[in-house]
Structure 1
């Protein structure tokens, strides 16, 4: 997925707010005032942080060691960093985004 595709997907989810609380280099997507995705605008390759339940986070990191990493500058138990261009399909990325959204929306 490209940056614009990540942003377009996030904003289509119900009740989502797009913000830039960390400055113009990052976009944060929130539901109910809580962050579920953080993406850097200028990063190459594109990478984003998403929330994940701890068991699933570990499994994703094991299944995709070059594409799913412990959350950069986040609680590594609950957040993953997803790196684009490392073998994940669009569907897999969208599933991780939706999982994060649903965890935070609860």
Structure 2
């Protein structure tokens, strides 16, 4: 015959085993859900990266255009200064 203590210990061990199995299954389900969520977040971040790259290319082109315009304006200023100096020399020769 089993003592009451042995019966109690068997019931406790069985209950704890069942409880740990249930907890293990729930932890596994939580980890699987976390994996799915992280995959979704990764897809969202990839799309955000694509949109950012798509928007940065025209901005870079616009920046290059503005830099080219600045250089063109600088060149026009140099020519204007050169023509002005040439006109000043012509006027001084006429006097």
| Larger strand fraction of residues | 1
TM-score after normalising by structure 1? 0.18
Higher RCO, 1 vs 2 (CA within 8 Å, ≥6 residues apart): 1
Larger Rg: 2
| Larger helix fraction of residues | 2
TM-score after normalising by structure 2? 0.20
